[in-house]
A and B are shown apart, each in its own frame.
Chain A
């Protein structure tokens, strides 16, 4: 079976870093495409992916006429654009970066210094099947390095566009490296979208290290094309007093999974990972997080909210591990799903594994439909049911977006969320 795993036959030993990639291929091959047989993929199946007949991205276009609206954010910042996983300088805007902040494409980095690149890339691959697959095919991505104490003055907007060649599916495996030296500060916003009607598979890995006292704000807009499969794995290492604020807004894709694995390797860390997923039609959206409190005295916060209409399916798997000597850990996790249709479905489970005794940990999960009481209150003031319905659904969603601390990005994400909400109708999916 393992030998039959999709993509294996597309492996090219001729491309750069063959040894590193062959290692990834071997690990992927041993595991195969993940599926319900393994615990971490209990609720999400990639079966439909294998039916797409995806080509490797090698021959696919790396140009664009224009950036699709789905990827746009009204945010002033630097921009790095990737098409089918390849860096496109023509659409990027990286002039004027402050001294000590460097943006480079991974392909350029590998070409410039293959040994350094190989060393830098080795860390993130934890052997999970899709990260291993990403390693096997890694070609390009974003490398952001911010030196000690340097503040990236504007957000860096990483745009990733899937563009399948006429009628053909394509698979690409971007690998991003983000390195914040001690006391550095940066904001990175990703937007993922697609052009063209065919399916594609974006299998992204973001390998992030935030050193002592550094701050990273990391926002992701997943607004992929309707036929897309989107899997993004964030591998995050947080040193003492580091701060990470993550947010993912899911709107698009046929199947999407945002997977965060964070290791808290020092005290005084503040790790926040929040999200909002808006799911309709027969979409499937999975948020999976793993926060490893490996050191005492740190804090983690998670809020994931989902609005599920039609036959949409949502998954939230949140695992928090507090290791034996991680005393004074303060971890909180909340998952709330709003079902707008009887056919919508939500699965998942919180998993708190606590081996220290002096900790504050809590979790909560709610799944429900819209309350009648607020609905009546709004209507009793003359607001028609369709408007009242939209106001209440939006109110539910806004609470998650409020977690985004950068106002311009919060507003830009809200604009995309509102466009989705405007398409909802009372009783539409029931």
Chain B
């Protein structure tokens, strides 16, 4: 059984069709990259996986671990192991980042039948993960994403992923806005999470990320469809040739 199976997915926003028949299968242990021009529907796909409101599923199915993902509320999906690292993480003033993460982790642990962590255990665990991502205590203390730079927000998303240990991680342009050193740190963080039980979907514009996190498959999303799939060498080819060959095919 595939970990994630997307079949003939059609999605519309305000009566405009954005995704026009996506078929995509991820097995446990795999990392797939999705590339494609701006506006082609990559973030839309990530939001639909996470369960954001406002997207009408006009046709198709998504099965996660054999279950109907679309029937689950966003929080239920997360507790079952779906995680989205947002392209644009939202700032939430007044919600302490650590309180938020502890609430989330304990909700997940409860679902998994593990006991809740107490404040000390939690702090120790998060600090260890944060250290690997070079996130200091000062950043941990702040309100959720408030006043974080673009790169800090992305690192914070990866920290959440490391703490919440998802089964399916979708990373939407987590590399955008990172400087070269931060990219390496984040990539190491992501690689550390690669495991035979876990699958990842990396949305990116840059082949450079894929030098660090080598994908099993690369897909090109254009005009709401997977226009081409291949091995990691496809990313190199795109880097050379651009998206020209996919842009002709108008909506």
> Which A positions have Cβ atoms within 8 angstroms of B?
372-374, 376-385, 387-388, 391-392, 394-399
Contacts and interface: CB of A to CB of B under 8 A. Distances in A.
A174 to B, nearest CB: 35
A410 to B, nearest CB: 14
Contacts of B111: 382
B74 to A, nearest CB: 4
B242 to A, nearest CB: 33
Contacts, number: 80
Interface string B59-94: 000000000000001110111000110100110111
Given A374-B90, A382-B164, A392-B95, A387 B103 contact: yes
Contacts of B74: 376, 379-380
Interface in B24-53: 50-53
B73 to A, nearest CB: 7
A376 B164 contact: no
Contact of B94 (A373, A381, A383, A394): A394
B104 interface: yes
B53 A395 contact: no
A382 B90 contact: no
Contacts of B50: 376, 380
B104 A383 contact: yes
A398 B92 CA distance: 12
17 contacts: A372-B53, A376-B53, A377-B86, A380-B75, A380-B84, A381-B78, A381-B104, A382-B78, A382-B107, A383-B75, A383-B78, A383-B100, A385-B75, A387-B103, A388-B75, A391-B100, A391-B103
Contact of A380 (B78, B101, B103, B108): B78
A397 B95 CA distance: 11
Contacts of A374: 90, 92, 95
Nearest to A394: B94
Contacts of A380: 50-52, 74-75, 77-78, 83-84, 86
A399 B95 CA distance: 10
Given A380-B51, A392-B92, 5 more contacts: A377-B90, A381-B160, A391-B99, A391-B100, A395-B94
